[in-house]
Amino acid sequence: NTYVASQQFNKKAEEGRAQAALGWTGRLTIAWGEVRYGLTDAAGKPVPLHGVKVLFRHPAYEKEDKSVILAPASDQEFAAQHMPKDGVWIVEVDADAGLEKPYRDVRRIMISNGALQ
């Protein structure tokens, strides 16, 4: 039903605008077999996180998709051992920052020689 789809789209757009209004910036690093993620607020200070889940989606091969739960690391960052194959990935981060819904950060990235480019 197109009406329901348009309502869902409008809701997601509103959620996106509300999240953008926070002025937060996600920092994703992938290198040496480790995935790290942290958030900073508009003033550049770390946002306290309670949990982070990262889904690596391969645009062409669904069987390559991998969900990774990150654990607390240093400086309000979360990390886990994971080395995605070289190539293009869609990364979906859900970070629990104590909001009603997880902070969502979706990116299309390139991995080359085991590192984020």
Domain at 50, CATH number = 2.60.40.10
Q: Which residue has the tokens 């329901």?
A: 4
Task: Give the C-alpha separation, 46 to 89, whole Å.
Answer: 26
What is the per-residue pLDDT across 6-38, written as a single tens digit (0 to 9) for each? 777 777 767 778 888 899 999 999 999 999 999
Task: Give the C-alpha separation, 11 to 7, whole Å.
Answer: 6
- Other Cβ atoms less than 10 A from the Cβ of 83: the count is 14
Task: Give the C-alpha separation, 77 to 92, whole Å.
Answer: 16
Domain extent at residue 65: 2-116
User: How many domains does one find in the chain?
Assistant: 1
What is the per-residue pLDDT across 37-88, written as a single tens digit (0 to 9) for each? 999 999 999 999 999 999 999 988 888 999 999 999 987 899 999 999 999 9
pTM: 0.87
